[in-house]
Structure 1
Amino acid sequence: MKKILVFNAMVLSLFAWSNNAFAGESRGGYISEIGTVNKAIVFRITGGVESGRPSCNTTGRFSADKDSEHYQAILTAFQMGTQITLGQVLGLGTCNLWSNSEDVRWIEINRK
């Protein structure tokens, strides 16, 4: 029984590690495009350095639920244009809100 529990713990930890290994990240840039669909906002970052996008993200966009804490930050950054730059956007490695855009985990906005 103990061996089964140890094995299950190892499998779960590998799954958790692999899920985060394919989470997208964007550093710098600005939000150049936004759209809304099915209670979500989708947005594109231009001028940033991107890495680690999951295979489900075929558009290069991120998405956030309209009721999330990210929604107002995304709208503000878009409205301010070049006056606000993105410090960092991290994804969850999933595309659950919109099938071709990565779900947002973290967004950091900095003033120029």
Structure 2
Amino acid sequence: ARELYDLDLRLAAEMRVKERASEPWRYQAVAVVRRNTIRSVADMKGAKSCHTGYARNTGWNIPFSHLLEMGQIQMQCDTSATVVEHDIKAVNAYFGQACIPGPWVP
């Protein structure tokens, strides 16, 4: 984003697993938000969200699991729905709009 828009960006947080603290990066993910719009994770509810793809680690699995752990996203138990449908419904209920690339049609 910085190179694309020539922005003055700063690293706000870095998360690593304690057992791999000294290893080189395996994944890098960023969240780009306007400075005055998002002050906490809860402020993302109803916002637009763009992901690298369904079930991709940095763009889906990691942020989705963090939002679940923080109680921001609620899963519905519908025995007639697949796991993918549960995930998509949960994200749809949380974000205003979402871009989630993937092979949705067999």
Scaled to the shorter chain, the TM-score interval is under 0.3
TM-score by length of 2: 0.27
Q: Which has more strand, going by share of residues?
A: 1
TM-score by length of 1: 0.26
Say which one has the larger Rg: 1
